[in-house]
Amino acid sequence: MAVINISVNGKKISKEVVDSTLLSDFLRDKLALTGTHVGCDTSQCGACVVHLDGNSIKSCTTLAVDCQDSEVTTIEGLAKKGVLHPVQESFKKHHGLQCGFCTPGMVMSAIDLLKKNKNPSDKEIRDWLEGNICRCTGYQGIVEAVKDAASKI
């Protein structure tokens, strides 16, 4: 067992966890932040993407104890005072989701992309999101959403 001190969505947290606890399990089971989805447990689908110190990571293969003294942002931490983040708003506007299972990971990955590349091409968006699997949309709405959000951020 270990005590981790971590900031999640701007809130400082200190919790005891088993050393082998995955960050995704910590967020979902210990903090009830169920927007972080787990679809594969092998880092292939991207549904579990969160931000760790501002960079997108797959939380299903990251140990919670390795996040000691870090800042984690989940999909629940994006909207401010009921106002969606521009990427969330663009996903809604451009129908970049259907069932919604992959959406939190897609949104978190897209935000990281736009932080690193303010005006990505369609190919750059598709390449960046390669590690995020969507079985519903065909990706065109997702690409359009990311391009639209780029013009607003």
Tell me: pLDDT of 137 over 80: no
How much is the pLDDT for 31?
Answer: 97
CATH numbers and ranges of domains, the chain: 2-75 (3.10.20.30), 86-150 (1.10.150.120)
Tell me: pLDDT of 138 over 80: no
Give 6-31 pLDDT, tens digit per residue.
999 999 999 999 999 999 999 999 99
- The confidence band for 134, taking pLDDT boundaries of 50, 70 and 90, is confident
Average pLDDT over residues 36-60: 93
Q: Is the dihedral of CA 33, 37, 40, 45 positive or negative?
A: negative
pTM: 0.94
CB 1 within 8 A of CB 18: yes
CB 11 within 8 A of CB 43: no
How much is the pLDDT for 94?
Answer: 93
